[in-house]
Structure 1
């Protein structure tokens, strides 16, 4: 199936929607570039701006059945808070497990413009450990007070899990889903991305270090200072925008077809 948008339809689309579609499609290609894919599974979702929806809660999500490397701005699905398709011309289905967690976060946290979820090997390995994320490296030290945990309840297709998830998350912007994977959210897509990237790097280092013997712990005082000093969260440095833009340029050099 091919859901590439016709030029006339693109021209009729609100420019803020097309801008959001381009950013999200680029992010899917970044995940593919970084190896954060899980065949056709997992999701990155964004809420469309009120300028597009008139205040209604509408979202963009990847078409179920496509690899992240096949996602484009035009084949992204537009859905409502219940995961129902709003663009009837798009032939791709929605993964029923794909939006249960995401919708709960988008609906329950006003600043959750973007939600990302992965099943990376090292992220999942850390999620399976009793101790969770270890405070013993440069990256985990930048996440002090930012990490929540939610116990595994099986495949996320049941809406009744949402209240427990939100309670466990509180206002923490990164989540280790025990026995399952990693999740982040943010008021912008680049901020959600750099949060997830930092968590993933922390997990990578933790797994690599595990076979080398006891780790040198980072004190809580140093971790608090490190998180405070991390320019990745600072609006002055773009709160992830500079990192995101650099990766967009790399994706563009390799394959810019996500812009279709």
Structure 2
């Protein structure tokens, strides 16, 4: 847990749960600040630590009906691996929100955080036949890290999960064709910088598309670039420093997520 959030705790709640709630609520506000929102849709899910759950798989997710800018540490929903609510919140869980997330959380041991977006440029690349192009600084940092899953409609059917998991394998980012972007990570900050890098790669690709043929990045250079990308390295925080900086920006705008 980063020092920036400095959780004071909440009476009657395990302090580790409150820390987790603060981190996830801050992330929802970061997404809102960056414009990575889709009305009341899309989701970021984060597993609660074993110190809270006793080893059971329990997660936090946004209340269905709230904009990301309305999410707070207190109103996040606690759910089980099947998406059932474990608290008395009046807000429902979006069934389309946890079908994909639960499959990844349940089958990848290190998938403690899962993020999904429908950003315009991310969706544009997801709709393109060639997918992500290896032609810019950001896509070159994702060599061998991107998986693809074909569109099967709104993700409410559990029978899609085995096919999605097979296509995902152990890759940390997923382009859902005709649909959007997804990332997962052992920590929330790592999942975030993975998604941010994929989003930036899509932004550049879409902006460049109108300028004619792009200069390709060779596979050898892409492999080297991905290896040298310090943002994936635990020695450099694996996204923690980036996340902390954005939390500070959110706090300047609206710190109500802390309630």
**Residue of structure 2 in register with 1:212 after alignment:** 211
Q: What is the correspondence of 1:1-260 to structure 2 with a 5 Å cutoff?
A: 10-88=10-88, 90-260=89-259
Structure 1 residue 151: Cα displacement: 0.2
Deviations 1:198-239 (A, max 9, x none): 000000000000000000000000000000000110111100
CA distance in structure 1 between the aligned counterparts of 2:10 and 2:184, rounded to whole angstroms: 28
**Residue of structure 1 in register with 2:6 after alignment:** none
Deviations 1:222-258 (A, max 9, x none): 0000000001101111000000000000001110000
Tell me the C-alpha RMSD between the 2 structures.
0.7
CA distance in structure 1 between the aligned counterparts of 2:10 and 2:248, rounded to whole angstroms: 23
- When structure 1 is superposed on structure 2, of 9-18 and 148-157 the one drifting more is 9-18
Structure 1 residue 179: Cα displacement: 0.1
3-state SS of paired residue (1:41) = coil
Structure 1 residue 10: Cα displacement: 2.7
**Structure 1 segments of 4+ aligned residues over 3 angstroms from their partners:** none
CA distance in structure 2 between the aligned counterparts of 1:168 and 1:250, rounded to whole angstroms: 36
TM-score by length of structure 2 reads: 0.96
**Structure 2, gaps ≥5 residues long:** 1-8
Deviations 1:95-140 (A, max 9, x none): 0111000000000100000000000000000000110000000000
CA distance in structure 2 between the aligned counterparts of 1:121 and 1:253, rounded to whole angstroms: 27
CA distance in structure 1 between the aligned counterparts of 2:58 and 2:25, rounded to whole angstroms: 17
**Residue of structure 1 in register with 2:3 after alignment:** none
Q: How many residues get paired?
A: 251
**Structure 1, gaps ≥5 residues long:** 1-8
CA distance in structure 1 between the aligned counterparts of 2:100 and 2:129, rounded to whole angstroms: 23
